[in-house]
A and B are shown apart, each in its own frame.
Chain A
């Protein structure tokens, strides 16, 4: 029976090819446009580390100067507070992290020295964020406090420096110092770059990773956002380190509720203590944010995609209204045929199913074409955006394909319910008379 109804749907399509194609096109454009935005939101606003996002917490403190009007507490931490948090406890995996840039001088004289983007972080960084390694691993915890000159390379940098071989144990000359390679990352490009949303949430990952303390010890050239709300007392680098300047991100992994309560307690006590010293006077809503909360708090999803979401929803509504109107025309135009079928004994139920299938058929065609529209749309956005953001993730995945087809069929059938109901309630006698 199903096959028969599909054949009827096909026949009906052929009878009114222009009207039917118009419907398919409307569904395709509406669904396609919606899917482009859905894909953008799915990735840009999605959970980049779903199995752990509820266990990783970013720490924010009550920063600001009460005499500055409208001062938003910066998302990062000061050097002094970072050292204090590191002292606070080592029960839980945690990492401070900051960006730097440095010049690498390859041993191979054929390759000119070049500049790399880097990150100072703790050894826990690699395990907390489940970063995949191609060779070796992160450094030992002892290397953090021992301030050993060790380095982890991105896959691209290893390619560039060592031709992609297992370079563990090799030496890299960075910023005038020798670093020993402990590991090489595999391909990894989290979207959004959740561990650092303050310096470009859709930027590529860094190329080199070194123990965080070395940023200060070796006076690496810091990069990324720095926000001060009080002038340093005195001059020089040490004065900057002691100043109320936030430039360090701090993440901690808390695996269960008990750990969370325990850590929150420690942080709250620290904040209260600092407050009594006259610091941390501007209260914040929250001190520990998990990955998803943090991305919402930091407004990672651009305004543009949010505006486009609303517009795409309205575009889809227009396309579906269009389809309702056209289906209504089409089904009412079929009145004589429906009259004949009813006169020959067709139940209202089977007429109903027949028309649901016909509407679904149009929806499915629209959905398939919509996939093409969506793929084209994403490709277009990728071309327009160029190298502004990492856009490897911008493609249709299985979820999006399935959602597209299902959404197209379901929405077309729903849009068709009224026309179907009208079609099933046609009085056969009138139309038989006209035959």
Chain B
């Protein structure tokens, strides 16, 4: 094959080669890292919260006026909600999973041993919480109504039982969920609580928290001026029930305002919106960059072919086939792109190291690099195929003209 002549021809135009190669290297750096960020955000977004998200919605009731009794109202509201056809169950809870707002604390194996404490998100909810959220009990038992403690928000005496997630159980007791049942652990204020159940999964409310799988539910109703009701419906009943529930609660007690009637799905969308925005921006960047680089390659190829029209004609006149002219330009591009993607691989890894160090992101998988290299080689070949075919059609007669 005519590799040598192609290389020697390339060396006559070093700068043009370097320009395209560097351009390809940068393009690869941006594209591969952008794809990696997109995938990483996608993974974050696709983690399940452990709850029956499709059928959950919530509404917040804020009391005002002297006659408002939060405890009585909450009991009344829950009874109404649970009786409503189409509603599977309802619970009064301090916050909604995935909502980015909530409370965290820690559990200790021995009182006072803060150094070995295991951090956990804390949910306060009544005995309907597991059924409402659709949590799956893997060991132990659910709360009963007798477990539920009703307390003022200024009091910090917790209920004496707790249900925790499997991830949290395994961190506290490496032998696993079953071993955690019946164990006594301590809160940071040294109060003893007994683990009565372990659920398969319930995420903490903060999507970016490193201990997101650590969560605990205390059977408590906290009297703090507002009640948040989380409501699970039969599949497909949500749209019908949401306005109905708002109206029903509004009519039952005038001494309050109802706010934040929202679905879990909307909450998830909002909590991860920055990630989906980032994903879209990066997709646009990738498409733009591929387009620009491809156009640049086409532009330069057309130009370099036009400059060499007579030489191409001469080669044709001397017996080169159309195929060999086509091959010349494809191989030429492959050599340039090859250099580009080699430099690109180095730059890609370097940029990824910057991302890893600065933003605490996980390191890029090795397979991204060869895939990116192949993809860009392919883009180069596709970009140059049009101009090359035009070149191969240059007539041999051109060699005899005009010189």
Whether A and B are associated in the same complex: the answer reads yes
Q: Are B257 and A114 in contact (CB under 8 A)?
A: yes
Q: Are A113 and B64 in contact (CB under 8 A)?
A: yes
B306 interfacial contact with A, CB 8 Å: yes
Query: What 1/0 flags go to B114-127 for Cβ under 8 Å of A?
Result: 11010000000000
Residues of B within 8 A of A317 (CB): 26
Query: What 1/0 flags go to A297-323 for Cβ under 8 Å of B?
Result: 000001110111011001101110110
B240 to chain A, nearest CB (A): 24
* Main SS class of interface, B: helix
Interface 9-residue window, one of A231-239, A260-268, A338-346: A231-239
Q: Are B351 and A325 in contact (CB under 8 A)?
A: no
Residues of B within 8 A of A319 (CB): 292
Q: Are A388 and B19 in contact (CB under 8 A)?
A: no
Chain A residue with the shortest CB-CB distance to B250: A112
Q: Are A237 and B299 in contact (CB under 8 A)?
A: no
- Give complex CA distance A231, B273 in Å: 35
Whether A418 contacts B26 in the complex (CB less than 8 A), given A69-B115, A319-B292, comes out as no
B23 interfacial contact with A, CB 8 Å: yes
* Contact among A29, A311, A385 for B277, CB-based, below 8 A: A385
Query: What 1/0 flags go to B121-156 for Cβ under 8 Å of A?
Result: 000000000000000000000000000000000111
A397 to chain B, nearest CB (A): 21
Whether A310 contacts B354 in the complex (CB less than 8 A), given A232-B189, A321-B22, A329-B303, comes out as yes
Chain A residue with the shortest CB-CB distance to B355: A307
* Contact among B30, B154, B157, B274 for A311, CB-based, below 8 A: B30
Interface 9-residue window, one of B85-93, B278-286, B321-329: B278-286
Q: Are A112 and B190 in contact (CB under 8 A)?
A: no
A394 to chain B, nearest CB (A): 13
A148 to chain B, nearest CB (A): 22
B237 to chain A, nearest CB (A): 27
B233 interfacial contact with A, CB 8 Å: no
A254 interfacial contact with B, CB 8 Å: no
B39 to chain A, nearest CB (A): 14
Q: Are B293 and A322 in contact (CB under 8 A)?
A: yes
Q: Interface size of B by Cβ–Cβ distance < 8 Å?
A: 61
Whether A326 contacts B299 in the complex (CB less than 8 A), given A235-B154, A318-B292, comes out as yes
* Contact among A33, A239, A302 for B274, CB-based, below 8 A: A302
- Give complex CA distance A202, B15 in Å: 47
B335 interfacial contact with A, CB 8 Å: no
Query: What 1/0 flags go to A15-35 for Cβ under 8 Å of B?
Result: 000010010011001100100
Whether A329 contacts B300 in the complex (CB less than 8 A), given A115-B257, A115-B259, A315-B285, comes out as yes
Within 8 A of B (CB), among A93-133: 103, 105, 112-115
A347 to chain B, nearest CB (A): 25
Residues of A within 8 A of B187 (CB): 231
Q: Are A322 and B292 in contact (CB under 8 A)?
A: yes
Q: Are B273 and A386 in contact (CB under 8 A)?
A: yes
Whether A310 contacts B295 in the complex (CB less than 8 A), given A103-B257, A232-B189, comes out as no
- Give complex CA distance A69, B64 in Å: 42
A41 interfacial contact with B, CB 8 Å: no
B253 to chain A, nearest CB (A): 12
Whether A29 contacts B278 in the complex (CB less than 8 A), given A65-B114, A303-B359, comes out as no
Q: Are A388 and B274 in contact (CB under 8 A)?
A: yes
- Give complex CA distance A278, B316 in Å: 92
Residues of A within 8 A of B285 (CB): 33, 311, 315
Enumerate 29 A-B pairs (CB-CB under 8 Å) in ascending A order.
A19-B299, A22-B296, A26-B296, A33-B285, A67-B114, A68-B114, A103-B64, A112-B257, A114-B257, A175-B64, A176-B66, A232-B156, A235-B154, A240-B154, A307-B359, A311-B30, A311-B34, A314-B30, A318-B26, A318-B30, A318-B293, A321-B296, A325-B23, A333-B303, A333-B306, A384-B276, A385-B273, A385-B277, A386-B273
Residues on B lying within 8 angstroms of A by beta carbon are 15-16, 19-20, 22-23, 26-27, 29-30, 33-34, 37, 62, 64-66, 114-115, 117, 154-157, 187-190, 224-226, 257, 259, 270, 273-274, 276-278, 280-282, 285, 288-289, 292-293, 295-296, 299-300, 302-304, 306-307, 351, 354-355, 358-359
